[in-house]
Amino acid sequence: MRSLLGSRKAQFFVLSAFAIVSILLLVSRWIEPLTIIDTSAIVLAQEPFIFNNIKEKANETITVSKSCGELKLNLKEYKNFVEEFASAKNIKLDFRYQVVDTLAEPCTDGVLKTNFNISLESPTTFIYANFTSRKK
């Protein structure tokens, strides 16, 4: 009779341990979604990357241009390209530039100074930059 009593204690212990572990597992699975921070929205936001790429390539356009006339044509073509790209992505882009060509500071093939005013707007983001770039 003693062996049956010891066997029942062991069965109770195993069943109790299984029940406690199962309850803890269920509670942890229930609480887990509250503890995970969702950062995917930040990664999926492509507007900052697009904006930085537009700025970088605008500077590169000035660098690869060899003369004032070529610079004006390259910037006009680049502006058309980025505006088409932005409209395809459903992003409002305002890309304005002015090649500095005044009496005080004429456009020379070695300098090619250009002022940029770029803004990008989407339903979730507004980014703005005003900068001057020159050929180095």
Calculate the alpha carbon distances from 130 to 7, 94, 108, 111 in Å.
81, 11, 22, 19
**pLDDT tens by residue, the chain, 136 residues:** 555 555 778 888 888 999 999 999 998 888 777 667 777 776 678 899 999 999 999 999 999 998 888 999 999 999 999 999 999 989 999 999 999 877 667 777 777 889 999 999 998 889 999 999 988 7
> CB neighbours of 72 closer than 8 A, spacing ≥ 6?
99
Question: CB count, 10 Å around CB of 128?
Answer: 11
The H or E element that residue 122 is part of is none
pTM tops 0.85: no
Contact 104/92 with Cβ under 8 angstroms?
A: no
